[in-house]
Structure 1
Amino acid sequence: MVSEPEFQQAVKELELCLRKSKLFSIHPELERALPVIKIPERIIQFRVTWEDDKGNMQVNNGFRVQFNSTLGPYKGGLRFHPTVNLSVLKFLGYEQTFKNALTGISMGGGKGGADFDPKGKSDAEIRDFCHAFMRELSRHIGANRDVPAGDIGVGGREIGFLFGAYKEYRNVWDGALTGKGLDWGGSYIRTEATGYGLIYYVDHMIHYVSPLPPPYSALKAIELGAKVLTLSDSKGLLVAKDDAKGFTPQDIHTIADIKLARKSLADGLKSSSSLATNFDYIPGERPWKHVPNNRIDIALPCATQNELDEDDAQVLLEAGCQFVAEGSNMGCTIEAIEVFENSRTRGPHRCWYAPGKASNCGGVAVSGLEMAQNAQRTQWTPEQVDTELAKIMENCFKNCVKTAQQYAEEYDQDGNVIAYSQKGGCATLTGTGSQHRWIFESISRHA
């Protein structure tokens, strides 16, 4: 068997969670769906040839993994990054299937992209690549078939190039991509949606566990009263020199502009006197072991898979962390999740954990709302979109709680409220309140 570590990890996490729960004892007929659900319905792989500014021919690998369409058209982002391969895209499409179901919107799961690196490329080179990529992809997508969006390396500029190429090749305007510009079918707060939805979810976690006021993903967290102490990217992190102050909204906007220009936090520190004055930069490090004054309430891994490992989890527990919610896909390793699960009985205090399938579904939820707006040929106000997003995240949380109580209660040995990690995990994968049982039942009938 070809080694696909990311995908195999995602499958293992799902099966571990399901077998811990009572799902198969209550519904044994659903177990036979397991070997079916992990096989994509279709994998499309193609060559992308394009020309750089020097007139040299370049070639990359393009992919689209159409994983599951049980609940609706395939839905999931496109990633342009040198690390893109089938293992990564299968893992992301697999996660996306369950995440999309939790939104309550009729969307299946998929993922795609290319091993193309937009960094250091000119606008002309990126436009030429996007047109070459869409030349093949346009045959396989559409508003009622497969609706890609952005992901790492695919922002508003790339979506614009891709959508323009789609219209050219298909001679049709429809909601075949989301994350479009506001002037041509995009939705308000789509860029912010994953972060906003994550904070809404954490808010419900906090209020469910205790009546503590909600200390909270960066801008929305600050808006709701949190102090954000660290921010990181793939090359290093910024730590507030004054932990009584933390990041301000202006700091966040400055960093957003830096990242939009495809620069690192280190580059930003050189160009912004405010950041240089108020923050220390630590290269090559992740934030979990650099907590100011060794005190933190909430940790939100929001970058990529496996960014928080077992050692990081232990450090967070020792720093007093009470809530960990994934803003990325599979942000925590299996071993880190076990640390959070075991903290109920073995740790200095309980740390509640929310898996990304539930806690970061806000981004695709607003993509679903963009699809609805496109179908209606209208555009909602930012307030309308934000209100709908908040409702979706609330329903997602409530469905997770309801499902865990039904299927995972036997693992609460002390009779206390079941560990949220098991709640979130089992609900994300099996929820009756959500739509995952429907997925399993539908597939089981054909298994």
Structure 2
Amino acid sequence: MTTATGSGADAAPQTTDILDELRWRGLVAQTTDEAVLRDAFASGPVTFYCGFDPTAPSLHHGHLVQLVLMRHLQLAGHRPLALVGGATGLIGDPRPSSERTLNTKDVVADWTERLRTQISRFLDFTGENPATMVNNLDWTGELTAIDFLRDVGKHYRLGTMLAKDIVARRLESDQGISFTEFSYQILQGMDFLELFRREGCTLQTGGNDQWGNLLSGVELIRKAEQASVHVMTTPLITKADGTKFGKTEGGAVWLAPDMMTPYAFYQFWVNADDADVVRFLKIFTFRSRAEIEELERAVAERPAAREAQRALASDVTTLVHGADATAAVIAASQALFGRGDLASLDEETLVSATAELPRVDVAAGSLVLDALAGSGLVAGRSAARRAIAEGGAYVNNVKVTGEDVVLEPAVLLHGRYALLRRGKRTLALAVVGA
């Protein structure tokens, strides 16, 4: 079989063993019988699926791992089914600590469409092994409680369900677990059974925290159809220091531009630690082994150049937001720090690039030193005066030459914005009102 080995999401495939390739990339945590799965890949194509529940209005970095895995498998000749859980999203996978707040049907339906649009960017829905989008509401929406209990529930044993790690932890908690969330594993198992029957699907993928739920489908198919199927999980992604992978401790890296701007998204990746960047290149990009090994040498020999981080940020931002957005982000990043023309940035790009900077609203004609102090770049007006006197204060990358300089209309970007800078890298945005 084949797998992608060149840079970019549509890289030309190169003959190799797909399971070995995925292991090298750090995309395999556990599988059911590996030898049998390896034979299935070799004799493929294998129809596989991954589920995405609309429990938020956007996918995040954890889902991105699954989408990249799906794309690798599709490039290797296998057929992906992307399941958006219009039904399971009404319930939600049990969390370790407490019950989820149930969203309305209208909210879940809206989020389902948002996720479908996001997923469609990552997979090829044409060609010899086209992807298919499915919604589990299609087979659960009209299912009666009696049919569910008779046809599906009879294959589940309470002792096995209670032994699931997440269920056991919740039962020991103060809140316990509702019958609604307790039943989630049955619904996920039913999804696998339905896709096995409808599409010939024999593999489910997911995060390693989903191992128990994934096995639910394996057991259901074995009992209901006397057939063997496979599951494969990806590791949960953490940083080298063991902390969670996100903007902040536990914070998601959202894929939707209205929840995390392309600029902030790019900056997250470009700020990856040297200890993490090579691993992230393997997991989140489609660069070849040779390219990644070269970037690994660059990290060791020229760490200050941050070549690997820039490659990572460019590839992942392009994958998620497109080449045009990435080019705009790079141009904005350079312009913010004086290596490009701020005035050339359109208003949307400027606003996106400065969305997470400290912000101060000031009146037209305000003194720059007041804007500096108000933004928090300096500790107060006295500190602002010192920064200006020392030549360390800038407005739109132009050095401020005196403490009497004001924010005049002629210097504003798009008639209302002034980028404030203290020193080389500390930024804020002044928004000038009437």
TM-score scaled by length of structure 1: 0.27
TM-score scaled by length of structure 2: 0.27
Larger radius of gyration: 2
